[in-house]
Structure 1
Amino acid sequence: MSCIRDHGLTVSEDLAAVACHRAEQHQEWRFAQGENSFAALYHYKSRDFAVGSAAHYRWKEWGYQETVLHLRLGERPEAAVWINHPGETIQFGYSRPSFWGGCGTLPRVQQYRGVAVLDFSTFDEQPDFTHAWFPIGEFDESSVKGSLALARSGRGTMMLRGSTDFVVVKDGPSANAELRQYGRKTRWIVRVCEASNLAAAQDRFGALAVEDKEDGSLVVEDPEYGTVAFRPDGSAAAEGRTVSPKDFTVAGEVTMLAAN
C-alpha cells in the first residue's frame, strides 16, 4: 500500500482478471521463494477452486511452521482445507510447530494440477495422528464415510481419500471442523474439481488410489489426467509433460491449461 500511496505505483487494470480469475481455462503457477530458492511452490487455480503446495520440501524432516498444502473451494474464503501433522496436542499452545500451524514431521507432498498426495511418516515422540481442517459448516454440502471425505462450495468440489478411516472430531475447539487419521504412517489423496454435487465428484474420483513403485514413485491413475507419476526427485509427470521443482524460478511462470 505504501508503494501506491507514497511512490505513485499504478496497478494495471489488466491484472484484475488475474486476481479474480473467471476464465474457463485453469492457471498453473510455479515459482520459488526464500534464500537460494529453498521453497518451490506450485499452485493450481480455476474459477471454482484453488490448491497449492510446497514441492519437494524437506520430506520426512522435523517441521517448523510450514503449511505444505492448502486449498479453497468456491467463493467463500472460509471454505478452506489444509492438512498437517500437529506439532503439539494443545490447540491453543505456544509450540512451534503448533496444533494447526506447521507440521511436526513434514510429509512427502506432491501435486499435479488438481490431484495431490501427502505421505506422512512421523516420529514416535510426536502426536500419533495427522489431520485436516475440514470446516463442515462452511461448505454447501459435505460427507465423511470411512476413508472418503467430500465437500463442495459453489461448484468447487474436493475429495479426500485416507489410508485409514477418518475420525470426525465432535468435541472441543475444532468440533465438526477436523478430520483425523491415526497412526505413524498415513496417506492422504486430494482431488479438487468442478462439480455441481458430491455424487458427481465421487463417481469420477472415488476410486483414486496410489500405487507404490519399486523406484520410489507414487503413481495415480486419474480419470482426467491419465497416469500421474510422482517421482522421488520431486517431479511430476503426466499428460506428456514433466513439472520439476528444480526448474522453478523466483520470477515465476504461469501456464494456462484447458479444463478437462
Structure 2
Amino acid sequence: MALWDHFKELRNRLIKSAIAVVLAGIAGWFLYDPVVYNLSQPLITIAEETGRTAVLNFATIADPFAFKIQIAIQIGLVISSPVWIYQVWAFITPGLTGKERKYTLGYMGAGVPLFLAGIYVGWLVFPTVVRALLQFTPSTGANNINATDYLTFVTQMFLILGISFLVPVLLVGINMAGIVRGRTFLKAWRIIIFLVFVLAALAAPGTDALSMFLLAAPLLILFFSAIWLCIINDKRRDRRAAKQAVETEASANIATPSSDLKKL
C-alpha cells in the first residue's frame, strides 16, 4: 500500500474504534449511578464507622457533569476493549507473516481476558485499599476527597492490576522472539515470588493472610505457567536448530551434481 493508503486505513480503524467507544460510553452513562455508588461505598462505610466526614468533593458547578463524562468514557473503554484492540491488530496484521499473525492472535486471545480479569480483581479489592489508606486520618480530621483525584487513583490501581495479569503473556512473547530463555526467567523465581506477594499484600481484599494468599496464588500460577511454556518453546527451538545443523553438515559432504552446476 502507498503511504496515503496507510493513512486512510488508519483513519478507518480509528473511526471504527471511536464509534465502539462512544456506543459503549452511552451504556456507561446509564451505568454511572451504580458504578459511582460502589466507588463511593468505602467512603460511606468509613463515615458510618468513624462518625467523621468522608465524601467525594466537587469543587465547581461543572465538576459533577465532567466527572460523569469521565466515568462513562472509562466504562466505554473497558466494554469496547475487544473491538478497539482488534482494530489495532487488524491494522498491523497485513505487514506480518502468517506465522506472526497466529502468534499475535494468540497473544490477543490470552491478553484481553487476562487484562479484564485484572481489572475485575481491582474492582473487588479497591474498597479495602481505600479503607486501609484512610484509616490513618486522625479522629479530628475529615476526608473531603476531590472526585477527579479519587477517580485517577482508582483508575491507576485498576491499570496496575490489569497490566500485572498481562506480564505472563509478555514473558512468553519475549521468549518467542528469542530475546530471553525460559531458564533465565526461572532463575529469578525468588524475585518473582517476592514481588507477587508484595502486590498481593497491598491489594488483598482482607486484612488476614489468607486473603493475600488467595490473591497471590492465581498470579503465581500465571507466572510459572508462562515460564513453563517458555522452557518448552526453548526445547523445541533447540531440537529444530540441532536438526538443521545436522542436515547442513550432511549436505556439505555431498558433491553438487554437474547438472546443477550447469544450471547455476
**Same fold per superposition (TM over 0.5):** no
Structure holding more strand per residue: 1
TM (norm. structure 1) is 0.22
Q: Which one has the largest radius of gyration?
A: 2
Structure holding more helix per residue: 2
TM (norm. structure 2) is 0.22
